[in-house]
């Protein structure tokens, strides 16, 4: 399976999992209204139809924003297509429910079993219709149609549609990891139109000397020194300002995420790169970290009014023009949140793809040490989130 196919499969799997979560909530809403109306004497079919309407309205907005990561305003054609999907799913739900009730009878077990079968049929109809009809993206907006292989990108002319990549990797006291990181970069970043900037972010270990030795004679991998550490975001911003690419981005130096993921993310950029924001979606993490991420994602989504999921996942890629419009970006770990939020309010096409998150090659995290460190992170992030809500950096 090539990288594009693997990315497409991973995206579909993630959409299915999120759709199941939304579908379970929608089914609970539908069934509560359905049974509640029947307890008050309503006949089953109108009661089910009203419950289905309420559940599907919730499903529409939740799937649009959460399952399929669509932040742009609804188009007229999209709404009309959804009406067709809605009608088909409603007909399937009511029809299958009626057939099952006729077969099983209206006992309590029969009603429940009929509802479950009808829900399964209508849910499948809804997912297929939403993904490939109601929320389908036309032309270059499609997340799969415009992706090309790295070979196609390398063969494109300098004035072609494939954007050039500048990947910034902040390094703070990562001397032990740097040989492995640079070796991985040498093996994978072979396209001459891709560059990597390793930012020595005020390291106090042997990083400057290690980088000087490793990068001697390198043209596509270079280093930038920040004399005094002023935060994770400060180092990234220094690298972004020195970058030359049309597509900019960053990832981590600890090898918990493979720098090659940035090349996979680049495949998701369509020719209209100014309209894309690409970000990984992590898997393979400890359950406690996943629970922490889910909680922060739900909080940010509710506070900022836009879907914000797995905010600190890497890599993060975006067009150069998008970066040039930033105002007052933070100098700490909130930079991930800032960039993601700016993409949402700017109406960029946010595209996610699965990335494996493994253990560090050497050393330990500089912030994710224990729950006390997480609480400090939460406090800083919540403070910055309120500033974003009040309009900091709005375009």
Domain stops at, among 118, 136, 154: 136
145 in a structural domain: no
Question: Could you tell me if 382 and 337 are in contact, meaning their C-beta atoms sit under 8 angstroms apart?
Answer: no
143 in a structural domain: no
Interval 148-195: pLDDT, tens: 333 343 443 344 433 379 999 999 999 999 999 999 999 999 888 899
Indicate if 118 and 221 belong to the same structural domain.
Answer: no
**Longest Cα separation, the chain:** 82
Closest by Cα among 140, 167, 156, 136 to 70: 136
Please compute the mean of the pLDDT values over residues 267-278 and round it to a whole number. Answer: 78
152 in a structural domain: no
51 in a structural domain: yes
Indicate if 96 and 234 belong to the same structural domain.
Answer: no
State the Cα–Cα distance between residues 149 and 4, nearest whole angstrom: 7
State the Cα–Cα distance between residues 280 and 260, nearest whole angstrom: 12
State the Cα–Cα distance between residues 37 and 40, nearest whole angstrom: 5
Pairing of β 349-356 and β 276-283: parallel
Which of 38-52, 112-126, 306-320 ranks highest by mean pLDDT? 306-320
203 in a structural domain: yes
Examine the pLDDT at 137 and tell me if it is beyond 70: no
31 in a structural domain: yes
Indicate if 174 and 91 belong to the same structural domain.
Answer: no
Indicate if 172 and 36 belong to the same structural domain.
Answer: no
56 in a structural domain: yes
Domain stops at, among 121, 136, 151: 136
Assign residue 132 a region (left: φ > 0; alpha: ψ between -120 and 50; beta: otherwise). Answer: alpha
Indicate if 178 and 112 belong to the same structural domain.
Answer: no
Indicate if 243 and 357 belong to the same structural domain.
Answer: yes
Phi first, then psi: give them for residue 44, nearest 5 degrees: -60, -40
What per-residue confidence (pLDDT) applies to 203? Answer: 95
Indicate the number of domains in the chain: 2
Burial class of residue 198 in the structure, from the number of CB atoms within 10 Å of its CB (0-12 exposed, 13-18 middle, 19+ buried): buried
Structure-model confidence comparison of residues 243 and 145, the more confident one: 243
What per-residue confidence (pLDDT) applies to 274? Answer: 61
Whether the ω angle into residue 315 lies within 30 degrees of 0, i.e. cis, is yes
Examine the pLDDT at 77 and tell me if it is beyond 90: no
Interval 23-63: pLDDT, tens: 888 889 999 999 999 999 889 888 988 988 888 788 778 87
> Could you tell me the CATH number of the domain that includes residue 235?
3.90.550.10
Structure-model confidence comparison of residues 154 and 345, the more confident one: 345
Indicate if 190 and 98 belong to the same structural domain.
Answer: no
Indicate if 7 and 73 belong to the same structural domain.
Answer: yes
Indicate if 223 and 297 belong to the same structural domain.
Answer: yes
Indicate if 338 and 215 belong to the same structural domain.
Answer: yes
Residue 320, domain extent: 165-389
Burial annotation 146-156 (CB, 10 A radius, 16+ → b, else e) = bbbebeebeee
Indicate if 175 and 113 belong to the same structural domain.
Answer: no
Taking all residues of the chain, what is their mean pLDDT, rounded to a whole number?
83
Phi first, then psi: give them for residue 145, nearest 5 degrees: -70, -35
Interval 349-375: pLDDT, tens: 999 999 999 887 766 655 555 667 767
Q: What percent of the chain has pLDDT over 70?
A: 83
pTM of the predicted protein model: 0.62
Please compute the mean of the pLDDT values over residues 212-222 and round it to a whole number. Answer: 92
Q: What is the dihedral of CA 86, 88, 89, 93, to 10 degrees?
A: 130
252 in a structural domain: yes
Indicate if 362 and 220 belong to the same structural domain.
Answer: yes
Examine the pLDDT at 20 and tell me if it is beyond 80: yes
Terminal CA-CA length for the chain: 41
Examine the pLDDT at 2 and tell me if it is beyond 80: no
């Amino acid at each position: 399976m090539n990288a594009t196919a693997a990315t497409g499969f991973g995206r579909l799997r993630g959409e299915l999992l999120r759709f199941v979560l939304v579908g379970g909530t929608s089914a609970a809403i539908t069934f509560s209204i359905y049974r509640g109306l029947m307890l008050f004497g309503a006949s089953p079919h109108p009661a089910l139809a009203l419950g289905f309407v309420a559940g599907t309205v919730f499903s529409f907005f939740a799937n649009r924003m959460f399952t399929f990561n669509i932040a742009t305003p609804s188009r007229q054609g999209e709404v009309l297509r959804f009406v067709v999907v809605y009608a088909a799913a409603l007909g399937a739900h009511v029809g299958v429910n009626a057939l099952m009730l006729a077969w099983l009878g209206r006992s309590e077990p029969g009603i429940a079993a009929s509802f479950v079968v009808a829900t399964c049929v209508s849910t499948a109809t809804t997912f297929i219709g939403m993904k490939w009809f109601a929320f389908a993206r036309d032309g270059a907006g499609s997340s799969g149609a415009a992706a090309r292989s790295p070979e196609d990108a390398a063969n494109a002319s300098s004035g072609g549609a494939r954007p050039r990549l500048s990947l910034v990797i902040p390094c703070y006291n990562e001397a032990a990891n740097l040989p492995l990181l640079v070796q991985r970069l040498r093996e994978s970043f072979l396209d001459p139109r891709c560059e990597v900037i390793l930012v020595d972010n005020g390291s106090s270990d042997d990083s400057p000397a290690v980088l000087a030795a490793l990068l001697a004679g390198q043209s596509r991998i270079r280093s930038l020194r920040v004399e005094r550490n002023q935060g994770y975001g400060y180092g990234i911003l220094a690298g972004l300002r020195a970058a030359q690419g049309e597509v900019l981005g960053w990832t981590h130096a600890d090898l918990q995420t493979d720098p090659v993921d940035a090349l996979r993310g680049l495949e998701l950029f369509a020719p209209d790169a100014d309209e894309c924001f690409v970000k990984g979606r992590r898997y393979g993490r400890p359950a406690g970290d996943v629970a922490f991420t889910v909680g922060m994602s739900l909080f940010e989504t509710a506070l900022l009014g836009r879907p914000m999921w797995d905010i600190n996942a890497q890599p993060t890629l975006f067009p150069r023009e998008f970066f040039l419009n930033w105002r007052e970006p933070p100098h700490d770990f909130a930079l991930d949140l800032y960039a993601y939020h700016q993409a949402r309010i700017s109406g960029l096409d946010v595209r996610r793809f699965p990335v494996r998150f493994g253990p560090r090659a050497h050393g330990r995290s500089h912030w994710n040490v224990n729950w006390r460190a997480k609480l400090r992170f939460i406090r800083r992030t919540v403070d910055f989130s309120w500033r974003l809500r009040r309009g900091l950096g709005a375009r």
